[in-house]
Amino acid sequence: MIQVTAQARTTMADRGRNMGEAAELSDVLVIGGGCAALSAAIAARRDGATVRMVEQASVALRGGNARHARNFRLMHDRPEWYVPDVYDEDTFFKDLVRVTRGATDEKLARILIRGSATIASWLCDNGVWLQDPSSGAMPYSRRTAFFLGGGKAMVNALYATAIKLGVSIGYDSEVVALGFGGHGRCSTDIRHDGQTQRAIAKTLVVCTGGHQANLDWLRQSFGPAADNFMIRGTPHDTGSVLRLLLDAGARPVGDPRRAHMVAVDARGPKFDGGIVTRITAIPHGIVVDRTGKRFHDEGEDARKTHFARWGARIAECPDQIAYLILDATGFARALPMALAPIQAESIAALAVMLGLEPGVLEATVEEFNAAADPSEGLQLNERRTSGLIPPKSRAAVALRKPPYVAYPLRPGITFTHYGVTVDEEMRVVKTDGIPIGSVFAAGMVMAANVLGDGYLAGLGVSLSTVFGRLAGEQAARQARRIVTST
C-alpha cells in the first residue's frame, strides 16, 4: 500500500485519529472539478459506477480553467453543422507535432485525435450547446467548434448532467492525502470546512490540473521572475495532488521549467483573468521594455497566435514588464480589449504616465518612425523598417497621430508542461514503468504526455474531454473487476 500525505511523512493512520467515520465506499472517486473531471464522472456514472467527485473550488468558481474556454479542436472528415470543411487525422497530428516540436507520445496523441471526432456529439448529448458558424458571431474555423455561451455555459451544463445522473459532488474540498494499492481500496483524506474526512473508493481518477498557480513551485523553476507572472486561470491549480502522486512514485513527464505563456494586460488580476486580459494588438504598434527601448520584431509573428510567443519574450525582460505603444491609427486597427488603454497627447506625456524616461521613449519612437517605409500604395503586410535593429518586418507604420496609447504587458501563464505519465488506458505509471491499476489521470495533470511544448487553440478542452471520458470508463470497468474478484 502506497501512502502519501501533504504533511511531510505523516501517515494515513496518524491522520485517521483526527477524523470522523470513513465515507461510504464508492466505485470511482474523481478528484477535480473541471472539464476532465466532469467528463470522467459522467462517463463512469453512465457506465454504471457509483461516482463521487471532489472539487477544491467553491460552487461559484467551479470548473477550473474550462470556465475560460470558448472552443475545442476536433477531427472531422466532412462538414458538420457546428464546423465547416474537413480536418483529418494526419493534418491534426502534423499540427500537434509542429507546435510540440516532437515532444508528444504518438500513441496517446492518436487516441486523442481519434477521440476528438466524437466529443461534439457527446457534449451535446450531455447538455452542452454549440454555436452555429453561420451565425457569424465567432471567426471561421475548420479546426475548432465554439461553445454557445462559452466555457462557463459548458461547465454549468455538464454539472447539471452529472447531478442528474446521481454523481455526488463536494465543493470547497481539498485532497490532502492519498493512499492506494492493489486491493481495490483507495484512501483519500479530504479537508472541508475545517474538518478532515476519509473517502474510500475502488478507483481514483485524478483531474486536478497543473501547478501553475503554485507560486513557490514556479519560483523553483523560473526563479524570482515568477513573482511577476500572471496566472490566467484558477488559483486552485496548485499541483498539490500532482505532488502527492509524484511523492508516491508516479513517473513525471515534461519539464516544470516550461510553460505556455501569453502577453496579458499587467493591470489584470493576478489569478483568473482568463482570455479577456490577453493583448492581441502587438503587430499594430511597438513594444518597449522598462528602459523605453524596443527588444524584438513586433511584425515577426503574422499568425493570430503571436501573443503566445510574446509571453515568453516578456518573461525575459527586466522585471518581466513591457509596454505596447500605439498611435491613434494603430489603435483603430486593434481589436477591442477588456481594459481601457493609458492615453496621452504626446509620447513624452505617455512616458511619464508609464514611469518611463520621456527622452528615451521619444528617441525610440523617432528612430522607428524614421525607419518606417513611407512609400505610397504599400499593403500593411508589405510595410517594413529599413536599417533598424531590431527590425519590424510587417505593419511598420510610423506612430505620428495622437492620441498615443499604451498597454502594460506581463507574461500570463496558461499551464505548465509538467505532470504524470499515463499509459493508453489512462492509468498512472510508476517510475518502474508499472501502471497503478486503480489510479487514473486525465486533463492537464497528464497533458504533457502529448503536449510537451507549445499549444494548439482549443486543445485543452479536447484533451480533457477525450481523456476524461476514457479515464472514467476505464475506472468504472476496473471497479467492476474488483467486485468480480472479491
**What is this structure's pTM?**
0.91
User: Whole-angstrom Cα distance, residue 448 to residue 105?
Assistant: 9
- φ, ψ for residue 287, nearest 5 deg: -120, 130
Pinpoint the alpha helices (H) of 302-444: 306-315, 328-333, 347-354, 358-371
User: Whole-angstrom Cα distance, residue 96 to residue 132?
Assistant: 26
The pairing of strands 435-441 and 427-429 is: antiparallel
pLDDT at 19: 34
- φ, ψ for residue 443, nearest 5 deg: 85, -155
Domain limits of the chain? 2-251+421-485, 262-412
pLDDT at 22: 47
- Tens digit of each residue's pLDDT, the chain (486 residues): 334 444 433 333 333 333 334 456 899 999 999 999 999 999 999 999 999 999 999 999 999 999 999 999 999 999 999 999 999 999 999 999 999 999 999 999 999 999 999 999 999 999 999 999 888 677 789 999 999 999 999 999 999 999 999 999 999 999 999 998 656 689 999 999 999 999 999 999 999 999 999 999 999 999 999 999 999 999 999 999 999 999 999 999 999 999 999 999 999 999 999 999 999 999 999 999 999 999 999 998 777 667 789 999 999 999 999 999 999 999 999 988 999 999 999 999 999 999 999 999 999 999 999 999 888 888 888 899 999 999 999 999 999 999 999 999 999 999 999 999 999 999 999 999 999 989 999 999 999 999 999 999 999 999 999 999 999 999 999 999 886 544
Angle at 381 between CA 380 and CA 382, to 5 degrees: 90
Superfamily of the domain at 2-251+421-485: FAD/NAD(P)-binding domain (3.50.50.60)
pLDDT at 331: 97
User: Whole-angstrom Cα distance, residue 203 to residue 442?
Assistant: 14
Q: Please state which CATH number belongs to domain 262-412.
A: 3.90.700.10
In tens, the pLDDT along 74-118 reads: 999 999 999 999 999 999 999 999 999 999 999 999 999 999 999
User: Whole-angstrom Cα distance, residue 270 to residue 275?
Assistant: 13
